[in-house]
Amino acid sequence: MSVFASEDRRRMARPVATSALALGIVLAASVASATTYTVSLTADDANLGATGNCTLREAILAANTNAAVDACAAGSVGQDTIILAAGTYALTIGGKGEDLSATGDLDVREALVLQGASAASTTIDGSALGDRLLQVAAGVTARVSDLTLSGGRLSGGNAESVAGGGVWNDGALTLTRVRVTDNRATGGNSANASANGGSGSAAGILNSSTGALVLDTVEVSSNVAAGGNGGLSCCSMSCSCMQGSSGGGASAGGILNQGVFSIRKSTIQDNSAAGGNGSYFATAGAASGGGLLTVGATASVLDTLFARNHATAGSALGTNSAFGGALYVGGGVATIEQSLLAENTVQATPSSLVNNGSPAGGAGAFVATGATLHVKSSTLAKNVATASPAPTIGSYVGGAASGGAIDSDGTVVLEGVTLAENQAIAGAAGTGTAGAAQEARSTPTVRSRS
């Protein structure tokens, strides 16, 4: 090799080194210019004026606008950081539907780190807000750690459907050592028979089609998605007869994924999706995905516990179904590895009068047509699917139950999986015929771990 060739390489390397140095200076300047807020007051400052405090809401506003708000300094163009000490930060300035963070939920519109002292000691509470807690805009990166997000209360008006009771993510959101608990998304009750009750979904977290959501060492627990109840109205001028509307559906008690999602070393437990009640002879609301419902491109689950999540249809004279107690895969590809799905349930409408019983399936997991579930080195145990019974009059058929562990219309691959003490309980006969009970409606592909 010639000396000239070596010299050429050295000359070519110089601009690269210079560029790297320049990039380092730019990055250092960006980091140096980032603003860090230490919130000084746990209350939600209602006037947002010059009161000499820097509240959580004011810090979010300053970070979003890169302008000073009260005692909160102007945010930077880059990623800002908000530090929350131990305490309960109660959000009280109501006004849902506003997306700049002035009222209602906290809207994150620029890159942000939100850091508490620990999930046990720092809580953002929205029980008095009447809105979700946090929303991350499309294209925005946010990291939240060491705190609890609790008390999101999103309720629909007349027959209105709602979604995302705790967190709505359109951007790139990472939660680390966070509890998402006791949040609700409740569809509106119908005022009359002209409309069905509204649906409720994603009580804990909604990850939209533009979102990328990462959960690491997170607890998603005790969140409730509920459908609204149907309404009644007269069907004659004298009101000599009545007519009713159906209850709203409920889905994703814990998490709804419509984009790209991953979770590891976490717990999804005690969440529920509860369909609304139907009125008069109308049907009840269906329920699906008590713990996690995913319809996005991919969902990856590693070393995670799904326990005591429930999908329960509403009550009505007309029945309805329930599928996916822990997990409902409605589209895309979901992978579960080194995880436990235990004591999850699905329950179809419990009573009926003039209809066949409704089916229930997939207390552990339900896989819809066109979707794929791959389960590796995991256990599904003591999950129970209960179909509704036939009525006690007429020759009606009890509801079919399938898949105490897994019920699939799509593709399922099991690799090193243990199934133990799962049950599929068919609807009772009444005076008609009992429903069928089977462990699954499709045969999964089973592979050895070798």
Stated length of the chain: 450
Q: What are the residue ranges spanned by the domains of the chain? A: 1-33, 152-447
Distance, CA of 115 to CA of 118 (rounded, Å): 9
pTM: 0.89
Nearest in space to 183 (alpha carbons), one of 136, 133, 218: 133
Nearest of 270, 273, 289, 283 to residue 227 by alpha carbon = 273
Region label for 162, one of left (φ > 0), alpha (ψ between -120 and 50) or beta (otherwise): beta
Tokens describing residue 78: 């880059």
b/e string for 337-360 if b means 16 or more Cβ within 10 A?
bebbbbbbbbbbbbebeebbbbbb
pLDDT of residue 111: 97
* 171: number of Cβ within 10 Å: 22
Cα distances from 312 to residues 40, 288, 386, 428, 429, in angstroms, run: 43, 8, 10, 18, 21
| Cα-to-chain-centroid distance, residue 186 | 13
User: How far from 249 is each of 159, 185, 276, 361, 414, CA to CA, in Å?
Assistant: 11, 12, 6, 16, 30
68 CB contacts (<8 Å, ≥6 apart)?
Answer: 62, 74
Residue with tokens 């129970």: 384
End-to-end CA distance of the chain: 49
Residue by residue, DSSP assigns 352-396 as -SSSPPPPEE-SSEEE-TT-EEEEES-EEES-EEEPPPPPSSSS-
- One-letter amino acid identity for 162? V
Question: What per-residue confidence (pLDDT) applies to 315?
Answer: 83
**What tens-digit pLDDT sequence spans the chain (450 residues)?**
333 233 333 333 333 333 333 434 344 444 446 999 999 899 997 556 678 899 999 999 999 999 999 999 999 998 999 999 999 999 999 999 899 999 999 999 999 999 999 999 999 999 999 999 999 999 999 999 999 999 999 999 999 999 999 999 999 999 999 999 999 999 999 999 999 999 999 999 999 999 999 999 999 999 999 999 999 999 888 888 888 899 999 999 999 999 999 999 999 999 999 999 988 878 888 999 999 999 999 999 999 999 999 999 988 777 789 999 999 999 999 999 999 999 999 999 866 666 777 889 999 999 999 999 999 999 999 999 998 887 777 677 778 888 899 999 999 999 999 999 999 888 776 545 555 555 556 566 665 443
